[in-house]
Every structure is written in structure tokens, then in C-alpha cells.
Amino acid sequence: EAHTAALNSLSQELTGALTLDEVVHSITQHIQQSFNCRVTLWLPGEKDIMLVADTNWESQSENRTANPIEGEAAKIFLGSLEKDKGDGTQLRFHSDPAQLTFVALRIGMEPVGILGLGADEVGNPPAFSAEPQRGLLQGFANLAALAIERNNLAEQARQAQLLIDVERLQ
């Protein structure tokens, strides 16, 4: 019941989220609350992968950059997702100073982002070894992927409309 309620709560928030920032904030906060861990969200950019959210930023707003080792691990993980069109199961990469577990955010076989889960403030690793926790994590990942893809499609539609408007003016 608790897992269903958590998934429903995230689903309701994502339905009302209009911007990528709102989507990212909802995803990271729900996962952090459910698993009591650090959450990072990485999205593929035009040239490289970008860290768009880190729950540690709340306490360190001046430091909004990725740990280079974590960034490299995320890049490797994204590369493996793009090459392997498998089922999207979790893969683990260990980075220093924090161990992150990366979870694929996919729509079909295409990666739309990566969740990184790491130790909390006191160093406790995230607990999702039991089947119910893995199911909840996969549910969060599926909702996150859908919300990110919806935002991407909305942005593409806005760009297309802008081009139509510019063409009409010309």
C-alpha cells in the first residue's frame, strides 16, 4: 500500500508539472524520501551528459557541478545503454567519494536519462535489495522517463510552432 501510494503521489505531481525543473524536482524528492538516499538525475545533452539535479544541492547551492568521476561513470553508463538495447536492468558503477547506483530511464529501448542513487548524508547506502523496493524503484524510473519524454516532446512542439510562426511572418 505504501509503495502504491508513493507511486500515485509522484504520478499526480508529474501530471501537474509543466517545466523540466518541476519534473526533476518531483522525481528527486520522491525518490529521496522513499529510499532515504542521495539522488542525482542525468540527462543526455547535445554533446555530453549533464547533471541536472542532485539532492545534495539543497544544502550546497553554490556547488552545482558534477563530481568528475561520477560524470565519467554516468557517461560510460549512458554509452552502454545506447549500445545495448536490452531490458534496462540496473547496472552499478562505483565512484569516489560516493558509490552511485545508476538506473536507466528509458522509453522503449531509448534512454532518456539516468538516475543515480548514492549514500545519504551519514554514509548509509540506499536500500533497495528486496524485491518490493526494486519494484518501487522501477516504478519511479518508469514515471520519470515518461515525464521527461513528455517534456522533451512538448519542447519540440514549441520549437516547431516557433518555426511555423517565423515562416508565416517571413
pLDDT digits (tens, 9 = 90+) for 74-97: 888 888 777 765 554 555 554 544
Q: Above 80 in pLDDT, residue 129?
A: no
pLDDT at 66: 73
Closest by alpha carbon to 116, among 154, 75, 149?
A: 75
List pLDDT tens digits, range 7-40: 888 888 888 888 888 999 999 999 988 888 888 8
Weakest mean pLDDT among 10-14, 104-108, 120-124: 120-124
CA 82, CA 136: separation in Å to the nearest integer?
24
Contact 126, 118 (CB under 8 A): yes
Q: Above 60 in pLDDT, residue 61?
A: no
Q: Above 50 in pLDDT, residue 112?
A: yes
At 106, the pLDDT band (50, 70, 90 cuts) reads confident
Contact 143, 7 (CB under 8 A): yes
pLDDT at 64: 67
Contact 139, 3 (CB under 8 A): yes
Q: Above 50 in pLDDT, residue 60?
A: no
Where do the DSSP E strands lie in the chain?
38-44, 49-54, 91-94, 99-107, 110-118
pTM for this model (two decimals): 0.78
pLDDT at 164: 95
